[in-house]
Copies of this chain bind each other. A is one copy, B any other.
Amino acid sequence: MPYAISPHPKRSSPYPMTTPLVEDPRIGRFPFVVEPFSEDCAGRLSWRFLGNHLLRCASLHAGAHGFGFDDMIGKRLVWVLSRLVVEMPNMPTTGQHYDIHTWVARIYRQFTDRHFAITAPDGTPYGHAFSTWALINLDSREPVDLTDSRMAGLSDVCTERPLPIAPPGRLRLTQPEALGETVASYTDLDINGHVNSIRYIEMMLDRLKDHDFAAQPVRRIEVAYSAEAYRGDRLTFYRQTATDGRQLMEIRRDDTLPVVKAAIAF
């Protein structure tokens, strides 16, 4: 369990409604368009494309402010995604333009929250996303204290804006139903040799074999990442339908170590 990190701090809940985004140099804004071959079978932007674009914008924004991958790796430090919540009441469709806005919203000792707004070019929201990251020392496997003065670049761009989606909740499967297994393979991997964070989301969606994604699109996905998986790892899938209809899911490595827990709402 290479990136074991302590449980996530508590947050106040729920966030109030956001105000329209204003121009702020602390906020990164990245334009996209839904291109052919980036949609799902219903013509909506795929979760894979959206998810990886969110990670890419996080990376670009961090790099632009001196705390990106290239800045950190020289110090043997790497950003690790701990939590991801993406809520998309509307998903853009083929040919539609959208902007991803992202900013650092909060800094704890071992974690930092990064928020996202996904909007049309005129600012109308498609949805929002919330993420939590830790900065891990590759040698000690310990998280860095993000309030340390050496991380001033991070705090310089921090802006506590409200996000109009519920924060991540508790993810626990009390009566898990087994949904089969797969083996982590070459094309599942990121540049670092770990299974890509968004690929886990795809794997979980693919296990919902009876769900009609065209009629009932995914509205919200909430993921807690607790360990990495590597090529050749056997991944087993579990599911439980929550009382509110959400699909709670878990992926385990070697059928024991929890790697990912998630809740999917339609």
Which residues from chain A sit less than 8 Å from chain B, CB to CB?
Answer: 35-43, 46-48, 52, 55-56, 59-60, 69, 94, 183, 185-193, 196, 198, 202, 205-209, 211, 213, 231-232
Provide a sorted-by-A list of 8 A–B residue pairs whose CB atoms are within 8 angstroms: A36-B56, A37-B56, A38-B52, A39-B191, A41-B193, A94-B191, A186-B206, A187-B206
Residues of chain B contacted by A232 (CB below 8 angstroms): 209
B187 and A40 within 8 A (CB): yes
Q: How far is the CB of A35 from chain B (nearest CB, A)?
A: 6
Q: Which residue of chain B has the shortest Cβ distance to A182 in the bound complex?
A: B182
Q: Which residue of chain B has the shortest Cβ distance to A198 in the bound complex?
A: B37
B46 and A187 within 8 A (CB): yes
B183 and A202 within 8 A (CB): no
Residues of chain B contacted by A43 (CB below 8 angstroms): 191
A187 and B209 within 8 A (CB): no
B190 and A41 within 8 A (CB): yes
Kindly name the residue among A40, A186, A191 whose own CB sees the greatest number of chain B CB atoms within 10 A: A186
A41 and B186 within 8 A (CB): yes
Q: How far is the CB of A205 from chain B (nearest CB, A)?
A: 5
B186 and A213 within 8 A (CB): yes
Residues of chain B contacted by A208 (CB below 8 angstroms): 186
Q: Which residue of chain B has the shortest Cβ distance to A55 in the bound complex?
A: B37
